[in-house]
Structure 1
Amino acid sequence: MWVVKIGGSLSRDPLLEEWLRQLSDLGGGRVVIVPGGGGFADQVREHQAVWRFDDVAAHNMAVLAMAQHALLMQGVCRNLVVAATEAQIRRALHDGRAAVWAPLDMLRQEANLLTNWDVSSDSLAAWLANRLNAERLFVVKSCKIEPGQSIAHYTAQGVLDRRFAEFTRDASYLVELVNKNDWSRVRDQLLHAATP
């Protein structure tokens, strides 16, 4: 099973449709898409700056932003199955479909290690990959990705959040950062993995 995090920066990009269609067509039964919060999460940050509500409220709003983006993705590609729980994800994969995660099970009443802005949808994708015992985690970004650079490098550049390295440090899966234009590389790996 592969987890593919698609950054919220693609929410208005024409390439989003291609990514979703290809992942749905080639990744049925083995791909879980994690949406970024995109402009929906940006609105959370703006409103928190105005109203000064706490990070638990902001976290819950950002989770809902990811869920909105999941619904947007399914609207763009109707073959995707929106799944809010691990059981729903596994059911979608069992049925030969690609799932897109609406992380409503991440809503919180109390502060914990996940309820602050050091944890973005990138770290939540790693959290999910850990929970699902994924084989790979792809993180799709709009910015330039230089081959061979470390997670620490991308954290320092602000491309990944501050907790991503912690969530992936002992991961049993391969972590790859890819640019939004690198679909063909991901496609080739999906096709290769499907060959017996």
Structure 2
Amino acid sequence: MSAAARPTVVKLGGSLSESGRIGSILKTIGRARVACVIVPGGGVFADAVRAAQTEHKFSEAVAHRMALLAMHQTGMMLCAMHARLQPAETLAGIRRAITSSRIPVWLPLKLVDGDTAVSRGWKTTSDGLAARLAERLGGAPIVLVKSCRVPRSASAARLAKSGIVDATFAAVVERARLSWRVIGDGDEAELADLLGAGHRSGRRAPSARAIARRR
């Protein structure tokens, strides 16, 4: 896939819905002039999986699949909140949605199930899965939207050590040389800028290189 055809992967942290920011963020993404695909976090649905595993002692492999389905639940909720969003389970489905001027919301179970590069367990969160999707899309740029404050110019490894991203994310962006940015609380204007979703007309959409520069 050519660089121009690669959509920007936008991972939305599951806790955004609890922070009250998710509605405004979806409005921003809905105005995007840059092709993008949303990766939903598991949010409260993943929290329920953790609680159930603690109580019932089922395996990491089972919890992993349940956590993927938690992302499906968040994804379906997001699709119900904005008319431009459309669920997609495969790379072809993502491309079809983008061709139709829709914004795909990735439901990960089908792709992740057969992906031997993804470890099974809580070590890999939706951050790492988003990075892996970007890698499979030919090295697409990736933006993580978090509910916490994010230190400027921090490396992916440093963010992983701080618990802001998972270790899988840091490993994949390094391995695949992905352009990436982590957007924190208060940085919504930057998200709009990265997606070409500002209100000013005539602005050029940002490149992957621009996303990398804004780490």
Fold in common (TM above 0.5): yes
- Which of these residues, 14, 23, 26, is aligned with residue 20 of structure 2? 14
Paired letter, 2:31: D
Map Cα deviations across residues 87-126 of structure 1 (whole Å, 9 max, x no partner): 1110001111111111121464999742111100000000
Task: Quote the Cα distance in structure 2 between the aligned partners of 1:130 and 1:111.
Answer: 14
The range that moved more, 35-44 or 166-175, is 166-175
User: Does the 8 A contact of 2:12 with 2:41 survive in 1?
Assistant: yes
Task: Quote the Cα distance in structure 2 between the aligned partners of 1:151 and 1:188.
Answer: 21
User: Does the 8 A contact of 1:135 with 1:173 survive in 2?
Assistant: yes
User: Does the 8 A contact of 1:93 with 1:99 survive in 2?
Assistant: yes
Map Cα deviations across residues 36-70 of structure 1 (whole Å, 9 max, x no partner): 00010011111111111111110110000000000
User: Does the 8 A contact of 2:173 with 2:179 survive in 1?
Assistant: no
Equivalent residue runs for 1:150-161 within 5 Å:
150-161=155-166
Paired residue secondary structure (1:127): helix
Q: Is 1:194 aligned with 2:205? A: yes
Q: What is the aligned partner in structure 2 of residue 100 from structure 1?
A: 105
Runs of 5+ in structure 2 lacking a partner? 1-6, 197-202, 207-215
How far the C-alpha of 1:21 sits from its partner, in A, is 1.8
Paired letter, 2:48: Q
Instruction: Report the identity percentage.
Output: 36
Aligned pairs, number: 195
**TM-score, normalising length from structure 2?**
0.83
- Which of these residues, 145, 154, 163, is aligned with residue 149 of structure 1? 154
The range that moved more, 162-171 or 83-92, is 162-171
User: Does the 8 A contact of 2:159 with 2:165 survive in 1?
Assistant: yes
Paired residue secondary structure (2:84): coil
The range that moved more, 100-109 or 83-92, is 100-109
How far the C-alpha of 1:188 sits from its partner, in A, is 1.6
Paired letter, 2:81: V
Task: Quote the Cα distance in structure 2 between the aligned partners of 1:123 and 1:194.
Answer: 26
Paired letter, 2:16: L
Equivalent residue runs for 1:29-68 within 5 Å:
30-68=35-73
Q: What is the aligned partner in structure 2 of residue 81 from structure 1?
A: 86
User: Does the 8 A contact of 1:27 with 1:97 survive in 2?
Assistant: no
* Runs of 4 or more above 4 Å deviation: 109-113
| Cα gap change, 1:111 to 1:131, in 2 (>3 Å) | closer
| Cα gap change, 1:56 to 1:183, in 2 (>3 Å) | same
Equivalent residue runs for 1:178-189 within 5 Å:
178-189=183-194
Task: Quote the Cα distance in structure 2 between the aligned partners of 1:172 and 1:110.
Answer: 19
Task: Quote the Cα distance in structure 2 between the aligned partners of 1:18 and 1:110.
Answer: 33
**TM-score, normalising length from structure 1?**
0.91
Task: Quote the Cα distance in structure 1 between the aligned partners of 2:172 and 2:141.
Answer: 14
Task: Quote the Cα distance in structure 1 between the aligned partners of 2:88 and 2:115.
Answer: 24
Paired residue secondary structure (1:34): strand
